[in-house]
Amino acid sequence: PNEQMEPDPKKKTLVVLGTGWGSVSLLKKLDTENYNVIVVSPRNYFLFTPLLPSCTTGLIEHRSIMEPVRNFLRHKKAVVKFYEAECTKIDADKKVVYITDESEIKGTVNTTEVPFDMLVVGVGAENATFGIPGVREHGLFLKEVGDAQAIRKRIMDCCETATFKDQDPDEVKRLLHMVVVGGGPTGVEFAGELQDFFEGDLKKWIPDIKTNFHVTLVEALPNVLPMFSKQLIDYTERTFKEETITIRTKTMVKRVTEKFIEAESTGPDGKKVVEQIPYGLLVWATGNALRPVVKDLMMSIPAQKDSRRGLAVNEYLVVKGTENIWAVGDCAVANYAPTAQVAAQEGAFLARLFNQMAKTEEIETELKSLSDQQEKAANGGPRDAIFSEIKELQKRLRRVKQMGPFEYSHQGSLAYIGSEKAVADVSWLTGNIASGGTLTYFFWRSAYLSMVFSTRNKVLVITDWIKAKMFGRDTSRE
Ligand code: FAD
Ligand code: NAD
Give the pocket of ligand 2 (CB within 6 Å): 130, 132, 181-187, 189, 218-221, 226-227, 252-253, 285-288, 337-339, 413-415
Predicted local confidence at residue 170, as pLDDT: 98
Predicted local confidence at residue 2, as pLDDT: 47
CB contact at 8 A, 213 and 244: no
Q: How many C-beta neighbours within 10 Å does residue 203 have?
A: 15
User: Would you say the CB of residue 330 lies under 6 angstroms from ligand 1?
Assistant: yes
Q: Which atom of ligand 2 is nearest to the CA of 252?
A: 19
Residue nearest (by alpha carbon) to ligand 2 atom 37? 185
Residue nearest (by alpha carbon) to ligand 1 atom 20? 41
User: Would you say the CB of residue 327 lies under 6 angstroms from ligand 1?
Assistant: no
CB contact at 8 A, 412 and 352: no
User: Tens digit of pLDDT per residue, the chain (478 long)?
Assistant: 445 568 899 999 999 999 999 999 999 999 999 999 999 999 999 999 999 999 999 999 999 999 999 999 999 999 999 999 999 999 999 999 999 999 999 999 999 999 999 999 999 999 999 999 999 999 999 999 999 999 999 999 999 999 999 999 999 999 999 999 999 999 999 999 999 999 999 999 999 999 999 999 999 999 999 999 999 999 999 999 999 999 999 999 999 999 999 999 988 898 999 999 999 999 999 999 999 999 999 999 999 999 999 999 999 999 999 999 999 999 999 889 999 999 999 999 999 999 999 999 889 999 999 988 888 887 777 788 888 889 999 998 888 788 899 999 999 999 999 999 999 998 776 677 888 999 999 999 999 999 998 999 999 999 999 999 999 999 888 7
Predicted local confidence at residue 402, as pLDDT: 81
CA of 61 to the centre of ligand 1 (A): 19
pTM score of the predicted model: 0.95
Q: Which of 73, 297, 330, 451 to mutate to test the pocket of ligand 1 (most atoms within 8 A of CB)?
A: 330
Q: Which atom of ligand 2 is nearest to the CA of 221?
A: 11
Q: Which residues pair with 253 in a beta bridge?
A: 263
User: Would you say the CB of residue 53 lies under 6 angstroms from ligand 1?
Assistant: yes
Residue nearest (by alpha carbon) to ligand 1 atom 28? 50
298 Rama sector, left if φ>0, alpha if ψ -120 to 50, beta otherwise: alpha
Q: Give the closest ligand to the alpha carbon of residue 143.
A: 1
CA distances from 29 to 33, 231, 353, 406 (A): 12, 38, 10, 16
Q: Collect all residues with Cβ–Cβ distance below 8 Å to 404 and sequence separation of at least 6.
A: none
User: Would you say the CB of residue 184 lies under 6 angstroms from ligand 1?
Assistant: no
CA of 88 to the centre of ligand 1 (A): 18
Angle at alpha carbon of residue 107, lines to 101 and 110, rounded to 5°:
35
> How many residues appear in the chain?
478
Angle at alpha carbon of residue 24, lines to 23 and 25, rounded to 5°:
95
Q: For residue 158, count CB atoms less than 10 angstroms from its CB and return exposed for 0-12, middle for 13-18, buried for 19 or more.
A: buried
Q: Which of 219, 223, 255, 264 to mutate to test the pocket of ligand 2 (most atoms within 8 A of CB)?
A: 219
Residue nearest (by alpha carbon) to ligand 2 atom 4? 184
Predicted local confidence at residue 433, as pLDDT: 84
Q: Which of 232, 339, 445 to mutate to test the pocket of ligand 2 (most atoms within 8 A of CB)?
A: 339
Nearest Cα neighbor of 240 from 190, 290, 291, 277 is 190
Greatest CA separation found in the chain? Answer: 104
Q: Which atom of ligand 1 is nearest to the CA of 52?
A: 34
Q: Collect all residues with Cβ–Cβ distance below 8 Å to 473 and sequence separation of at least 6.
A: 57, 58, 59, 197, 200, 201
Angle at alpha carbon of residue 237, lines to 408 and 203, rounded to 5°:
115
Nearest Cα neighbor of 77 from 116, 22, 34 is 34
Q: Give the closest ligand to the alpha carbon of residue 193.
A: 1
User: Would you say the CB of residue 340 lies under 6 angstroms from ligand 1?
Assistant: yes
Predicted local confidence at residue 268, as pLDDT: 85
Nearest Cα neighbor of 309 from 324, 293, 291, 325 is 291
User: Would you say the CB of residue 22 lies under 6 angstroms from ligand 1?
Assistant: yes
Q: Which atom of ligand 2 is nearest to the CA of 415?
A: 41
Q: How far apart are CA 158 and CA 233, in angstroms?
A: 30
CA of 182 to the centre of ligand 2 (A): 6
Q: How far apart are CA 239 and CA 232, in angstroms?
A: 10
Residue nearest (by alpha carbon) to ligand 1 atom 42? 340
User: Would you say the CB of residue 291 lies under 6 angstroms from ligand 1?
Assistant: yes
Q: For residue 451, count CB atoms less than 10 angstroms from its CB and return exposed for 0-12, middle for 13-18, buried for 19 or more.
A: middle
CA distances from 125 to 22, 330, 339 (A): 12, 6, 11
CB contact at 8 A, 360 and 397: yes
CA of 226 to the centre of ligand 2 (A): 9
Residue nearest (by alpha carbon) to ligand 1 atom 36? 143
Q: Which atom of ligand 1 is nearest to the CA of 50?
A: 30
CA of 102 to the centre of ligand 2 (A): 28
CA of 331 to the centre of ligand 1 (A): 9
Q: Collect all residues with Cβ–Cβ distance below 8 Å to 463 and sequence separation of at least 6.
A: 64
CA of 396 to the centre of ligand 1 (A): 38
Angle of helix 340-376 relative to helix 21-29, nearest 10 degrees, comes to 40
CA of 219 to the centre of ligand 2 (A): 9
Residue nearest (by alpha carbon) to ligand 1 atom 14? 123
